[in-house]
Structure 1
Amino acid sequence: MRTLAYAALIASVPTVAIAGTACPTPEPIATGAITQPPPLLTDAPRVTAAEIAASPALTRITSRGAVLYRLKEEHGLRGVFARTGDQFRVFYLTPDDQAEIGGVMWDASGHNVTRAQVAEIPGAIPTAHWAPASLPSSSANDDLPHSDAVVDPVARLAAAHFGVDGRQNAPRVYMIIDPLCPFSTRAFGALQPYVESGKLQLALVPVAINDHENGGASTPAAMQMLSAPSQEMARAWRRISDVGHAVPGQEPDAASSAELTLNLAAAHAVKMRGTPTLIWKDKTGTSRQETGMPDDIAQFLASLPS
């Protein structure tokens, strides 16, 4: 997650991604910077000193100066909005007040509960958006589906910019990745045995959604991947992963910025929630989509065409 002013305080708290296997898009944020922060959140209910003293979890959160505000209890968990300067993080407390969970709460319908909770706090919803506001000017874009159209995710990604890793006749699985998302990197490594054995071919679709967390390093890394030939993109990603950023001295192609914008538009069109996102056609010809690594690899592989 983002580095906060009280980062040392929450170092022991696990970061939360979608299903624990993906880097979430910036929209469902539970940490971040308050934009144009008000002098004091006087209208928000403060957590009292007595409540903090009675709760080991709240005591830990405030030990480095965070100010706490109450959020509405959801699904049996009390929420708190922890603010240090213009930085914030949302925590949920366990019923015994011994532990805190930092992250995003989603309900069964896919509603972002956390975002709704903090929406009333002035400046808490970030202004950064991962989806591009517009596409590069090109007559080719006239054929792209509009945002309100029904989109076949496989067909949409087939028109994106990607690199292939695996045998040519293997079933293709599109994998939308941020090159600096650790979950993307782990998924890529976990799928390598199946790529090498010919059970699937990965079509890597680079995007950049983690710039808000890594100081803008994802964009040059994604552009560097897009500058590599299709068959070399996986190797370029491995080199980037080795150093943790774009490889110095390798300038991206002039077209890579537009290609990245188009890939972000494709990710937005298929309603990507985080990286990695896997998209493929199953044996019946139905498009399938999953955020993060599949829970059941065997079932995932069995769904691929022979």
Structure 2
Amino acid sequence: MRHHFVKFLFLALFLLQATPALAQGTPPLPPPIQNLKDEGAQLRYLGQQNGLDGWIAIKGGQEQYFYVTKDGQAFVMGVLFDRDGKMVTLRQVKELQDQSGAETLSFFAEEEAERQALSGGATAAEPVNQEFKTPSEQLYDDVESANWIKLGRDGAPVLYSFMDPQCPYCHAFMNDLRANYIENGLVQVRMIPVGFRADTKAQAAFLLAVPNPQRRWYEHLAGDETALPISADINEQGVERNLAIMQSWKVNVTPFSVYRAKNGEVKIIQGRAQDLAQLISDLNGS
């Protein structure tokens, strides 16, 4: 059942337009769910069942399901079952898929297989148990809280990097890192997608929303012009938040990378790193 449920989830996520009936009947969001949208989550209305309004929220490739009471005063998180034990949420997502037409099916069939093999998406950043008294520590705190995607293995030393999907220096930096360092588990890049033009901002938003951003990004680097489609219907607030972090620190170049060295110092790299061996050594303390 999980296999089919995930497939229908992704189909529902990328419905580009609600049907007229759904659009007219969409209720207001409770503040906690609205906050998710403001942070860049993709939301789709599932409809009403047994007096509960259902929602899918996707952020960083991770899905959450919410059901809101009729008066809007309370909500629960999780999937909904009927009295016979059948999953109502699955049926609701399937109905959204049917309304979107069969064209979307092929688009997400391959995503499901990849998601089983690669987790993709961002994981919660570990809290740093210290007060942020210096500008460098505040910068690191801000970067940790950005909307990012994970490239590489869990447990590897972390490098955060703001990147524009069409920035040639970002492409070169990623290609430098990928073969010898990311894929060998020597560094995990947490890419923070941004965009300085409307088209690149849309591509950055797509990366934050797609179930397997790592594969899409690598296909884009390899020259696949269809890997990062441009759609005006994907929520761009996650990218706007990333841009706001850059602007607050007066950063206007990509790639812009931040990391905590093995000795605890916060360090930055503006542009493409020239000495990757030294960078990896600084991250690993070797």
TM-score, normalising length: structure 1? 0.45
When you count helix as a share of all residues, which structure comes out higher?
Answer: 2
TM-score, normalising length: structure 2? 0.48
Q: Is the radius of gyration larger for structure 1 or structure 2?
A: 1
